[in-house]
Amino acid sequence: MATKTQTQKEPEKKILSVKDQGFWSRLAHRRIRLLRLSVQISSFIILNAGIFGVARTFIPLPISQPTGAPFSIVWGGFEAIEYALTNSILPFFALGVFMISAVLVGRAGCGWVCPMGLYQRSVGAIPTKKAKISKPDNKDLNGIGGFLMALFLLLAFGIGFMNLTNLGNAFIRMPYTPFDPSATLFGSIFYYSKFGNSPPGVGMDFIGDVFSLYTFMFIFRIVIFFLVTLLVMYVPQGYCRWFCPTGALMGYFSKNSILGISRDPVRCTNCGDCETACPMGVPILDYSHKKVTDSMCTNCGDCIDACNYNAINFSLNF
C-alpha cells in the first residue's frame, strides 16, 4: 500500500514575475539597455576621437560608420569593401573582419556599437504609435537589405573592372554613400554647414549658377535621410531591419555565432513579451530554446530585459 508521503504530490514551485517583485528587481531588468546605452555613447566618442586629435586609421569595422565623417578614426566596413572593389582589389581584410566578428558575437556590433543604431534608438524613443508589422512581412522586407548589398557590391566591382575611378569622384569609389543616411547625418550635414554649396574641389556647376552638383547631392541625401528618420519613428530600427547593407552582410555570417540568445524552456511561459520588445521584430519563440538563429538578431538584449521570468539570457554556443 502506498504511503501518504508517496501519494502526496509535491506543490509546484511558483516562479515569480518581475512585476510581482520589488523595485530593485525591476531596476535589474533594465540593466542590459542601460549598459548598452553606455557602450553606444562611449563607442561613438571613441569612433570619432579625431575631434581630440587622434589620428585616422585604416581599420574597417562592421558597422555603419561613414569613412568620410570629419572626426572618424575608422572605416565603415561596407565602404571599405566598396573602396577595394572599385580599385580592383579583392577585399580580403574587410571581409575577414566581417566574418570573424559575425562568427564570434553575431550582429552585436549593430546593436551595441553602430552610431546609426544609436540614432535610430534615439528617434524611436519619440512617443509615436508604432506600426505593427507581421512576421512574414518583416522577413520579406528584410530581403531589401540583401538586395541593396548585392547591387552596390556588383556596381563597385563593375567600376573597378572598367577602371572608372579615374573620374575622381568620391561617389564612384563608394557608390552607396549618396544613399547612406549615416553618411548624411555624420558627414554631409557637417560639411555643408561649414562650406556651404562650394566645398573645396567639389563646387562644380550643375544647372548654371543656381545649383552646384554638391548642392543637388546634398538635397538628395537630405530627402533620403528624412524618409529614414520618419521610418524609424514608427518602425523601431526600421533602417537596420530592412535596408542596411552592412547589417545584411553581417546577417549572412551571424546565424551560427558563438554569442547568442537562448531560452530556458522550464521558465519560459511563451507570453510573447520578448518578441514585443525586440526592436528588430525577431520571432524569438519560433526558434529552438537553445539559440535564436535569426539573421536580424543584433544581440541587443532587449528581450532579456523584457522577460518577466528570467527565461532569456545570453549564451555561448561552441
Q: Helix/strand/coil (H, E, C) string of the chain?
A: CCCHHHHCCCCCCCCCCHHHCCHHHHHHCCHHHHHHHHHHHHHHHHHCHHHHCCCCCCCEECCCCCCCCCCCCCEEHHHHHHHHHHCCCCCHHHHHHHHHHHHHHCCHHHHHCCHHHHHHHHHHCCCCCCCCCCHHHHHHHHHHHHHHHHHHHHHHHHHHHCCCHHHCCHHHHCCCHHHCHHHHHHHHHHHHHHHCCCCCCCCCEEECCCEEHHHHHHHHHHHHHHHHHHHHHHCCCHHHHHCCHHHHHHHHHHCCCCEEEEECCCCCCCCCHHHHHCCCCCCHHHCCCCCCCCCCCCCCCHHHHHCCCCCEEEEECC
Q: What is the pLDDT of residues 265-313, one digit of tens each?
A: 999 999 999 999 999 999 999 998 889 999 999 999 999 999 999 999 9
Q: Are 111 and 117 in contact (CB under 8 A)?
A: yes
| Confidence class for position 6, pLDDT limits 50, 70, 90 | very low
Q: Are 184 and 225 in contact (CB under 8 A)?
A: yes
The least confident of 181-185, 214-218, 280-284, 313-317 is 214-218
Predicted confidence (pLDDT) at residue 205 exceeds the cutoff of 50: no
Q: What is the pTM of this model?
A: 0.85
| Confidence class for position 166, pLDDT limits 50, 70, 90 | low
Predicted confidence (pLDDT) at residue 204 exceeds the cutoff of 60: no
| Confidence class for position 1, pLDDT limits 50, 70, 90 | very low
Predicted confidence (pLDDT) at residue 4 exceeds the cutoff of 50: no
Q: Given the C-alpha cell 522550464, which residue does it identify?
A: 266
Q: What percentage of the chain exceeds 70 in pLDDT?
A: 83
Predicted confidence (pLDDT) at residue 203 exceeds the cutoff of 90: no
Report which of 23, 102, 55, 122 is spatially closest to residue 298, judged by C-alpha positions: 102
Strand partners, 224: none
Burial of 310 (0-12, 13-18, 19+ CB in 10 A): middle
Give CA–CA dist 107/125, Å, rounded: 22
For residue 99, what is its C-alpha cell?
566574418
Give CA–CA dist 249/88, Å, rounded: 20
The least confident of 51-60, 131-140, 200-209 is 200-209
Report which of 108, 249, 240, 40 is spatially closest to residue 48, judged by C-alpha positions: 40
Q: What is the pLDDT of residue 198?
A: 54
77 φ/ψ angles, rounded to the nearest 5 degrees: -60, -45
